[in-house]
Every structure is written in structure tokens, then in C-alpha cells.
Structure 1
Amino acid sequence: MDMMSRTLLRTLAICFGVTLSQQAAAADIRTGTLPDGSTIVIVTGDFVASDIEVFKSKIAGVRKGVVALDSNGGSLHAGIQMGTAIRLRGLATVVPVGSQCASACAIAWLGGTPRMMGSDAKIGFHAAYRLENGAAIETGVGNALLGAYLSNLGLSDQAIVYVTMAAPSSMTWLSRREAETLGIDILNETEDRPPAVSAPRQESPAPASPAPTLSAEFLARQFAHEYFEKLGSYAGATSELFEESYAASVFYHNKTVPRGQIVREKVNYGARWPKRSYKWREETLSVSCAPGGQTCTVEGLVNWTARSDERRKSAAGVASMRLTIMWDGVRRQIIEEVSKVVAKDS
């Protein structure tokens, strides 16, 4: 947004205080209109993977707006995806007066341009983790993904270390002084415009510096991770997923085939193996993009499992995977897919 002041933060606290205090098993995502006519997107409750598409649909037509956040966290993947969407749309983020935004919520908040923090608001960070036998275990893969996201937002190495330094069982609560030291820009409550244009008045004020853009490599990597997450979900692996994820014609296992053939194969495979999972081995993952970023190739090893309880069969192993992804200015689609099983569990 172009202008955000103390008045707006008070408006958020007064008009949306009751809503922001509500918590749910998954995030509650609603939209409204602020006094200046801009859009507010209110996100409360824990983040889950299914919130990603809901959130993206809510902000799809928003040109000027702010995302108000109040959440204890949840899915890191959802936080990164929502933060990425916020940055791509050029939306502001705010943790309103007296609210709390921690873990994955704070990661999404960082995507805002500008970012705002109401008085008594709490914003907290900790390292990425996975649950193992009920215990939170720090994960290098998760921290690598988080670090790549933060770097693409333009955060310094010092800021990235700060965001990920707390153990999963603890929290680092951000203060305005620490944010200033780390170069994490936060719009002051008393400012009427972002710091980049709040300097002494000029007859023709210089425009604000553009927000750092997310690289084509980063976006291709995120597409590949998100696609595999949906592919491993029984509810997500639908014909609609494949229709939107593949181009009309695809170089598929060394031959050119129409999208319809891939859709049929993928849907049939999902019916035969209802329970599946696909996870990139992050240490093997590489991304290369053509000049201009219109096409990117993602390559690496993938751990996969497949199970059918009805047929009492299961399989697991490792496959090499290469996806070439094209950006047409509207969406990303797969134009090449080549994979090969390199190891199979006995």
C-alpha cells in the first residue's frame, strides 16, 4: 500500500479485533474493505497446506491491500507460499495491535511490502522442524528452503541467521530495534509512507525503491515442491491438478505426448496407488533457468512411496527426476518430464 499510519492500525484493532481473536484448526481467511477503499485480507488460526490455494484465490484480484495476520503458525510450506504470493502481489502485511504472529505466520509476514507491527504486537521466529515420534526435530532441508525464501525477499545473511537461530521448542521475539539493526524494514506507526519516500519533502518526490523480486530459479523450485506435495495427496491428485500443471504438449519420457494422455496416466496411477508420497532430496536438487527466466529445469532425486490397502501392496524407492517448467506470464506449466527409478526397496 502507498500509505499506512497509526490511524489504520487503530482501525484494524477496532474493526477487526473480535475476528482476529478467533482461532481455528486451519486458517480462517476473510476479506474486507478499509476506509480508504483498499482491501484487507484477515488470516487467523493455524496454517495448513490447503490454506495456500484458498489464500491465493482471496488475493487474486487485489491490487491495493494489506494482509492482517494473527496466528501461532503451522505449516512452514504454507507460510513460505503465502509470503511468496504476498510479495508477488505487492501487498502490505500487518500484525495488528495486541496480536501475535509466530512461526510460519511470521514467515508469511516477512513477504509484505511494507511490513507493519502494531503496538504490543508479537512476531516470533524459530528454526524449521519436523515431528518425529511426537518430538520437534530441527530439519536441515526445511531450513534450506526457508533460507532460500528469505534470501529472495532480500534479507541479509545476518537477518536469515536471526530468523532461524531459535530451537523448535523456543522462540525469538522480534523487537523494532532488532529489526532496524538487521535491516528488516518495518513501517513505523507514526509514518504516513514507507521509509524510502518519507525523507524531506520535495516538489517531485523520488519513487520508493522497488521491493526485491523473487528469482525465476526460486519460483521454479517452489512450483516443483508444491506440485509433488499435491501429487502425494489423495485429494490433491485430481485431473484438475494435471490439467493446470502440464502444458498442452509435453516431452514426456523422451517422446512428445498430448496433455490428455498424461492426465489419464496420472489419474489411473492415483487410483491404483491411493496412498503416495514424493519428497525431493534437497541436497541433490538443482535449478537452471534460460536467460529471462521463461523456462527453468529442476533436477534431482526423489524419495517415493506408494501403497494400496485394498490390494495389500506397497512399493518405495528413489527416482531421478527432471522437470522443465515454462512461465507464460500467467502461470507455470511442465513442458518436460523425465524420470527413472534408480533404487527400489525390497
Structure 2
Amino acid sequence: MSVLEAFQLKSSLPDNYLSMNNRQMEERVREIKELFGARLYIPGHHYQKDEVIQFADATGDSLQLAQLAAQNKEAEYIVFCGVHFMAETADILTEERQKVILPDMRAGCSMADMADIYQTERAWEKLQTLFGDTILPLTYVNSTAAIKAFCGKHGGATVTSSNAEKMVRWAFTQQERILFLPDQHLGRNTAYQIGIPLNEMAIWDPIAEQLEYDGDVQNIKVILWKGHCSVHEKFTVENINDIRRKNPDMNVIVHPECSWEVVQQADFAGSTNYIIQQLEKAPAGSSWAIGTEMNLVNRLAKHHTDKTVISLNPNMCPCLTMNRIDLPHLLWALESIEKGKLINEIKVDKETSEYAICALNRMLDRA
């Protein structure tokens, strides 16, 4: 589901939540959590606001949280504090009796919305005409259930930013080429890391429905979908150069959703968990400029008071959709459970789920 479609759904808060203060809402959330006990499970993504994260039963990245939800057989209700594609994955992996709820249906991912199933199917048909049956599709878990299912149906798999290198290596044991959706930067950075030169990578433009490449197309090994993270793309080489001038001893660490140029200039690059772990083991007194979502950077700065932690881009704002869920929406979702009238339940149809599980399992089997 796109962000635009989500906006068209009923997701506006009832008026009574607008008149409550934070203390009142926090007390009600605690009451409902205590009332439901193990029947209620609240996973919270790293990028969520502190007002929501304080009530999370577990924090982590998107796939990790979906797996934790699937392992929690006691939970009847999973209130996923993340975004739409994360809640979809949780619904795919959990049992039919378990209900997955997204507190705010406007919580989405602009990157995931850059590859819809109709564009992907048209692209696949044209790429098959160009290359025949030599392509394996891989999709970042930051994608819709339909795109995951497409990859599962065509022998492909999902990847995370932590295991992308392993999965790309695996893909090349299956086929001569890969189609990497929907984030061109993670695809490019990963392929380059395993030794594929930039001149063997092309970009598929889903709007123009054409391949962007100069040279003999038969030399192409990686086809990158023209999508990106609107947050991570805002970190620039100029940001790094500015840090180097002002504080040459500061470490620069970035997420691989950043551009290739930024990743090449950084001291470290890796997944959200990698960034967290690097900060955990860093010596006291060290300095870090982090190229990832602002809520996480702020949380790391608060946690690591013995270190200097700043955003690589001083003008960065939190992701407008990744941290859409707030305390009023969380309470609204919980009270809907209490009243037995669920709002914003996320359900993925059976066929899509089955193929998406194929893509997820091909990855999880190689964990």
C-alpha cells in the first residue's frame, strides 16, 4: 500500500485523543498493557519516537521485529510500531489467529512505494526480452508484500542491510544477473563490495520503463531499481568534508542506503544494528558523525553520554513517515483492542503470503 492510498483510509484520530495530555495517555497505555499482559505484544522499530519506544516490548530492525512477533505464540494482538511493510511482514510470519495492527495507516516508507507490483511485472517482461532467463530478483525487506511475493515466485529472495552481501553472492550462484529492488544504493554498495565494478551495473527507471546504461547491455551483471531512501540520500560528500575540516578525529559511520560516493568516503558503513554495535564498543571519548535517521541518532547520543554523537547532516529531520506513529495513535490502537473493535488491522492475502514466505525463507535459510 502506498502512502497516498494510506492517507485515503480512515486514520484520523477521534477528537477525545486530541484533548488528552501525555501523562493521561501514558497512564492509559500502561493500564491496557497490564490488563492484556502476554496477550499483547508491542514491537518498536529503531526509528520510532521516544514517546512510543518507551512502551515497546522489543526494539530492533524491521525483520528482527517481525521474527520476534512470529516467535511470540502467546500474543493475540501485535501492535507494530513501525511502518506498513513491517506490519505486512509480521502478518505474513505470524499465525492466522494473531492480529497485527498498525496504529497509524499513514506510517509508510517512500522507498518501498517506489516499486509497485505493476511496475515490477512490466519491468520483468522487458528485462526478460533483453536478457532471457538469466536474472534473479532480490528485494530489500523495505518493500511491499507484493514485491516480496514477486521475488519468491521467480526464485529470488529478500535481503536485509545486514545480510545483503551474503544474499547477493548467493544470487550469483543461481543466475548470471540480478535485479535489485527497490533501493539502488544498497544494491550498488553491496555489489561493489563483492567486486562488481560500477560499469557492470545498470539502472532500471520504472517511470520511463527503460534501462539506463552506456555500453553493451550483455556486460550488465546488476540491474538496480531506480529507488532510494529519501532520508539517507540527503547525506552528502560535502557533509563528510565539512566534518573532516572541523573535527578530523571524528569517525564517520553511515548506513548503506546512502549513496555510493558517501559510503566510499565514510570510515564505516553498515546496517542499523551495525551502527548501534559500533557505538556500543567504541571507546569513551571518541567522536561519531552518523549518517542515518535522526531519531536513532538522538537516542544514541542520549545513551552514549561518554562519547560525542552527532548527525552527519546537521540539518537532517526525522523521517516523516518512518516515525509517524505517536502516543495518541498508539493509545487509540490499544483502546480499540480493549473495546473489541480493531482499527487498522494489517492482513496479507494467502497467495501473496505464500510466495513472500518463499522469498523470506530463502534468506532465513542462509542466516
TM-score, reference length from structure 2: 0.23
Structure with a larger share of its residues in strand:
1
Structure with a larger share of its residues in helix:
2
TM-score, reference length from structure 1: 0.24
Higher relative contact order (CA 8 A, sep 6+): 2
